[in-house]
């Protein structure tokens, strides 16, 4: 007899707690093999394919494309062959993939290392008992406006019990409801067997905010006007907004970028210095490299690869900028290796792939890795591991046709070098006015790790290498 197993959205790592369904790779009724990718999801870090640890026939899918699911929420169910062993066993059939013929894999290319803690799946017929035994996390019924209600919270143990256990499995859903004073007992779940999902809680929050807006002056969101004369409504931040204004959720890559940049501006006392440099000789060296034939020929070298190699040489001279700050220990942590990030603009937003061990690579190797990571970023196939762990970032905003910028440091790094467009400008060269290829370089640095003298020395060395590439021969 076939056994139906439920596959839940696995822990994606890197502190990620939710993901958005981008594209289903299987349909109900399809036969899937063990570790076959079944869905493509987008997290705050990357787009990944999630493999199913079971082999069998897909009997149900949970969530349409565009739906955001928390870690631990059901993704799909698979009917597999009857498991070996006693048929009357009371063992939880879905708690261990290995006991059901599954592989235990969670993500393509991420390995199957032992988890920190095993999470047992709750079978539908045991949902009530599992929830009854767990502490009740639902907040009490609140009739006052949402803003005022958040100031008074009853202890969890005092939550009223009126109509039995609440059909909620996800701790994230319970926490979201508790933080927004939503009484889960008043909600009707849209999940299987009436399970309350995050979408149900989000819908209740929006309803509560709209009600509070209509009845109090502490508005939480713009209200759709009933009369044509009502042109604007109060937005949560107090700024007037048109009734038909578009509201775009800050989630996925955009949300992650917003969080990281806000944290950088909040925690890091940054400063910026910049300098114009004559890049004529650097461009001539690059042209000579790319024009080489015979045994000395090789892949084309980009300007970004040359600047990346210059950065690794500069960081060897000024290691203060290849560091991070441990705020809890009040220590500056100087990092032994350079993992060089570079900003890449994609259709999904800004991402920062990382070239591992850049200090051990030459220009050609760095260029090849940048090209490989750029292609993965373009296709949305970068893994979280390829987007984290950087120690210094290079930002080539010159590709957008601008000369200068004041970059925001990629937290928790200590510095970022910005590269403007390279363009012909009048320049005094060898005592005479000439047209030269000029570029503006800017360095934003964490003032806690070094003073202006160190930052200025780093930037000046980079500029000297740009103007006289032969300077790099000293360190090759």
Cα–Cα distance between 21 and 43 in angstroms, integer?
A: 9
* Residue 443 phi, psi (nearest 5): -125, 120
Encode burial over 110-132: b for 16+ CB neighbours within 10 A, e otherwise. Answer: beeeeeeeeeebbeeeebeeebe
Three-class SS state of 142: coil
Cα–Cα distance between 398 and 345 in angstroms, integer?
A: 12
Closest CA to 352 of 361, 344, 360: 344
Dihedral Cα 195, 201, 202, 204, nearest 10 deg: 120
**Annotated catalytic residue, options 339, 359, 411, 447:** 447
Cα–Cα distance between 199 and 222 in angstroms, integer?
A: 20
Is the alpha carbon torsion for 367, 370, 376, 378 positive or negative? negative
285: exposed, middle or buried (Cβ count in 10 Å: 0-12, 13-18, 19+): middle
Distances from the Cα of 267 to the Cαs of 85, 183, 327, 357, in angstroms? 57, 36, 9, 27
Q: Check if 339 is active-site.
A: no
Distances from the Cα of 395 to the Cαs of 305, 323, 404, 418, in angstroms? 12, 18, 11, 5
Distance of CA 63 to the CA centre of its chain: 21
End-to-end CA distance of the chain, in Å? Answer: 68
| Catalytic residue list | 447
């Amino acid at each position: 007899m076939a056994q139906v197993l439920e596959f839940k959205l696995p822990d994606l790592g890197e502190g990620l707690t939710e993901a958005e369904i981008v594209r289903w790779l299987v349909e109900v009724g399809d036969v899937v093999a063990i570790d076959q990718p079944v869905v493509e999801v987008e997290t705050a870090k990357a787009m990944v394919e999630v493999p199913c640890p079971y082999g069998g026939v897909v009997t149900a899918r949970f969530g349409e494309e565009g739906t955001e699911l928390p870690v631990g929420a059901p993704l799909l169910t698979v009917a597999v062959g009857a498991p070996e062993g006693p048929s009357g066993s009371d063992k939880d059939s879905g708690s261990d993939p290995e006991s059901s013929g599954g592989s235990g894999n969670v993500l393509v290319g991420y390995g199957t290392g032992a988890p920190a803690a095993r999470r047992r799946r709750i079978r539908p017929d045991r949902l009530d008992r599992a929830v009854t035994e767990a502490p009740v996390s639902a907040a009490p019924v609140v009739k006052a406006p949402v803003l005022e209600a958040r100031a008074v919270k009853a202890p969890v143990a005092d939550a009223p019990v009126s109509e039995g256990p609440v059909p909620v499995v996800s701790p994230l859903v319970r926490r979201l409801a508790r933080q927004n004073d939503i009484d889960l007992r008043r909600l009707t779940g849209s999940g299987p067997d009436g399970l309350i999902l995050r979408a149900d809680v989000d819908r209740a929050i929006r309803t509560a905010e709209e009600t509070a807006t209509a009845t109090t002056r502490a508005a939480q969101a713009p209200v759709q006007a009933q009369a044509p004369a009502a042109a604007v409504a109060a937005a949560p931040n107090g700024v007037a907004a048109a009734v038909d204004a578009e509201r775009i959720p800050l989630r996925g890559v955009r949300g992650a970028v917003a969080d990281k940049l806000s944290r950088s501006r909040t925690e890091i006392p940054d400063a910026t210095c910049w300098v114009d440099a004559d890049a004529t000789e650097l461009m001539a060296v690059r042209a000579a490299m790319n024009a080489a034939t015979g045994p000395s020929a090789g892949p084309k070298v980009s300007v970004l690869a040359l600047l990346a190699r210059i950065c690794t040489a500069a960081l060897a001279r000024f290691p203060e900028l290849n560091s991070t700050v441990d705020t809890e220990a009040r220590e500056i942590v100087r990092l032994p290796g350079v993992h060089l990030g570079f900003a890449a603009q994609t259709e999904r937003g800004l991402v920062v792939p990382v070239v591992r061990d850049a200090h051990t690579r030459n220009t050609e190797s760095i260029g090849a890795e940048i090209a490989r990571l750029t292609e993965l970023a373009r296709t949305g196939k970068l893994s979280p591991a390829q987007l984290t762990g950087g120690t210094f970032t290079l930002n080539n905003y010159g590709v957008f046709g601008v000369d200068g910028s004041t970059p925001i440091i990629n937290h928790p790094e200590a510095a970022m070098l910005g590269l403007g467009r390279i363009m012909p400008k009048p320049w005094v060269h060898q005592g005479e006015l000439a047209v030269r290829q000029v570029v503006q370089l800017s360095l934003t640095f964490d003032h806690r790790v070094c003073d202006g003298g160190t930052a200025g020395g780093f930037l000046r060395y980079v500029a000297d290498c740009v103007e006289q590439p032969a300077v790099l021969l000293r360190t090759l």
